[in-house]
Structure 1
């Protein structure tokens, strides 16, 4: 297997007496989708925040493309190639769909902008934004106010904004949330093709999507990875079934 593009090494994060991340080590290789699953409160989103730079770990390291990025800011990591979609939308709801996508393209360019209108007139930024919207099927909604989109469409816009950053790794926190069966199926197909462009560290509760997409799955329980393996290995692991999958099947 090729060298990992992303390495999480012995990461620890506590909030007072609560251990949210307990000596977690993970790798993500080029062309791979590595899914992170676990019950609510397992620490999945907290881990993604540390990888993206929104939270600093108490100890451990995050390496990206052979570089220790543990001390870098969220913006610096994004510019280095870590693209994130959020569990809770970070979109500007009063802006149009196109305006949100253009802001992502601005972030990729590294340009400093002071006035919004001149940025919107930049043909190169608009072209990059429209290309991303077309890829996720939102180009016909470009002029629509983001607040008027459905929940599922906002999730797709989050992916489009991430695409404008042209990341080398995608960090995706529950992209299927609220999409419904048809929306999840469509996004699953899209992500399956996206892995060849950039590998994906995927936090997801939709187990059909996880088992369809993931090359490897890590199971997080109480902040600790209890198993890592293929979909078949995870399905048959007694500890995983007891801690998580049995609970999911009974739900």
Structure 2
């Protein structure tokens, strides 16, 4: 079995009397999509924040690409190739599609955004951004103002920005949020192919997408992982059915 690209061991985080994460141990293996599901308030956002470096655990550790990154910042983890996309878009809506991706590439180089304007003519930066746009199928929209994109196209653009990091893994926080059935289906197909670029840790409420995409699923309830397994394992689990999926699963 291949070594995990991303792994948590015993992550625990409390906010006063609330235990938001309790001894959470999960891993992400090369070439897979590992979905994290759970009801609202299960602790998914807290877990992702600890994995990506926005929140320090009270105990436990995070390992990425063979190294302990628990003490590293969000930016430091990103520079190592941990690419995150957000539930709520963090794109610059008044900038063009190409400019947004160039901003991502600029950040990946560790250069501050206040020097963005002079580097618009940087050929290397532009080529990196254009290659990412081609990868996600948005080359024809390079000059389009980001606010004019559809919701699904913005999700693709976020992935293009993440690709400028040359990611070793993606962490995606509800990429299907706000999409209709058609948009969700298109994005599902896109993400299915993206796993060959880098494995994906996927937090998602759209169960059709989860069941279509996931190689493994971990179920988080009240900060604890109550089950991890294949789609079939999770569908057939009485514990998961009772705690989360319901009788219609």
What band does the TM-score fall into relative to the shorter chain? over 0.9
Q: Distance in 2 between matches of 1:136 and 1:30?
A: 20
TM-score under structure 2 length normalisation: 0.95
Verify the 8 A CA contact 2:107 2:113 in the aligned structure 1. no
Q: Give the structure 2 partner of residue 80 of structure 1.
A: 80
Q: Give the structure 1 partner of residue 42 of structure 2.
A: 42
Q: Give the structure 2 partner of residue 121 of structure 1.
A: 121
Q: Give the structure 2 partner of residue 213 of structure 1.
A: 213
Which deviates more from structure 2 when the two are superposed, residues 158-167 or residues 73-82?
Answer: 158-167
SS of alignment partner, residue 192 of structure 1:
helix
Q: Does 1:170 align with 2:163?
A: no
Q: Distance in 2 between matches of 1:13 and 1:93?
A: 34
Q: Distance in 1 between matches of 2:71 and 2:114?
A: 28
Verify the 8 A CA contact 1:113 1:119 in the aligned structure 2. no
Alignment gaps of 5+ in structure 1? none
* Structure 1 residue runs of 4 or more that deviate by more than 6 Å after TM superposition: none
SS of alignment partner, residue 40 of structure 1:
coil
TM-score under structure 1 length normalisation: 0.94
Number of residue-to-residue matches in the alignment: 249
Q: Distance in 1 between matches of 2:233 and 2:204?
A: 18
Which deviates more from structure 2 when the two are superposed, residues 31-40 or residues 142-151?
Answer: 142-151
Verify the 8 A CA contact 1:93 1:146 in the aligned structure 2. yes
Q: Does 1:146 align with 2:153?
A: no
Verify the 8 A CA contact 1:42 1:223 in the aligned structure 2. yes
Which deviates more from structure 2 when the two are superposed, residues 151-160 or residues 109-118?
Answer: 109-118
Q: Distance in 1 between matches of 2:137 and 2:18?
A: 41
Shift of 1:113: 5.7
Shift of 1:112: 4.9
Shift of 1:36: 0.3
Alignment gaps of 5+ in structure 2? none
Q: Give the structure 2 partner of residue 3 of structure 1.
A: 3
Verify the 8 A CA contact 1:138 1:157 in the aligned structure 2. yes
Shift of 1:114: 4.1
Which deviates more from structure 2 when the two are superposed, residues 124-133 or residues 105-114?
Answer: 105-114
Q: How much is the aligned-residue C-alpha RMSD, in angstroms? A: 1.5
Over residues 126-163 of structure 1, what are the superposed CA-to-partner deviations in whole Å (9 max), with x where a residue is unaligned? Answer: 12112222222222222222223232222221111111
SS of alignment partner, residue 25 of structure 2:
strand
Shift of 1:167: 0.6
After TM superposition, list the pairs within 5 Å mapping 1:10-159 onto structure 2.
10-112=10-112, 114-159=114-159
Which deviates more from structure 2 when the two are superposed, residues 142-151 or residues 110-119?
Answer: 110-119
Over residues 63-106 of structure 1, what are the superposed CA-to-partner deviations in whole Å (9 max), with x where a residue is unaligned? Answer: 11221100000000000110000111111222221111001111
Q: Distance in 1 between matches of 2:240 and 2:24?
A: 17
Which deviates more from structure 2 when the two are superposed, residues 35-44 or residues 184-193?
Answer: 184-193
Over residues 198-227 of structure 1, what are the superposed CA-to-partner deviations in whole Å (9 max), with x where a residue is unaligned? Answer: 111110111111111111100001111000
Q: Distance in 1 between matches of 2:206 and 2:131?
A: 28
Q: Distance in 1 between matches of 2:47 and 2:245?
A: 21
